Amino acid sequence: MRTRLYHHPIFAEHLTGAGHPERPERMRAVEAALEDECFQHLDRAEAPEGSLEAVLRCHPEPHVRRIAKAVPDEGLARVDGDTVLSPRSFAAAFHAVGAATAAVDDVASGAMANVFVCARPPGHHAETATAMGFCLFNTAAIAARHAQAVHGLERVAIVDWDVHHGNGTQEIFWADPSVLYASTHQMPLYPGTGAKGETGAGNIVNAPLRAGDGRIAFQEAFETRVLPALEAFRPDLVIVSAGFDAHYRDPLGSLQLSEAEFDWATGKLLDLADRHAGGRLVSLLEGGYDLQGLGASAAAHVKRMMTG
Q: How far apart are CA 207 and CA 182, in angstroms?
A: 8
Choose the catalytic residue: 95, 124, 125, 301. 125
Q: Residue 198, CB half-sphere, CA atoms under 13 Å: how many?
A: 19
Residue 177 CA to residue 251 CA, distance in Å, equals 35
- Residue 84's DSSP bridge partners are 78
Q: d(Cα 30, Cα 144) in Å, to the nearest integer?
A: 24
C-beta separation of 296 from 33 below 8 A: yes
How far apart CA 181 and CA 174 sit, in angstroms, is 9
Say how many C-beta atoms besides its own lie within 10 A of residue 226's C-beta: 26
Beta-carbon count within 10 A of 234 CB:
13
What distances in angstroms separate CA 176 from CA 56, 74, 145, 179, 185, one per listed residue? Answer: 17, 40, 11, 6, 22
Q: How far apart are CA 246 and CA 289, in angstroms?
A: 10
The beta strands (E) that lie in the chain are given as 3-7, 43-46, 77-78, 84-85, 114-117, 156-160, 179-186, 204-209, 237-242, 281-285
Q: What b/e readout covers 158-189, taking b as 16+ CB neighbours within 10 angstroms?
A: bbbbbbbbbbbbbbbbbebebbbbbbbbbbeb
Q: Is 125 a catalytic residue?
A: yes
Residues with catalytic function: 125
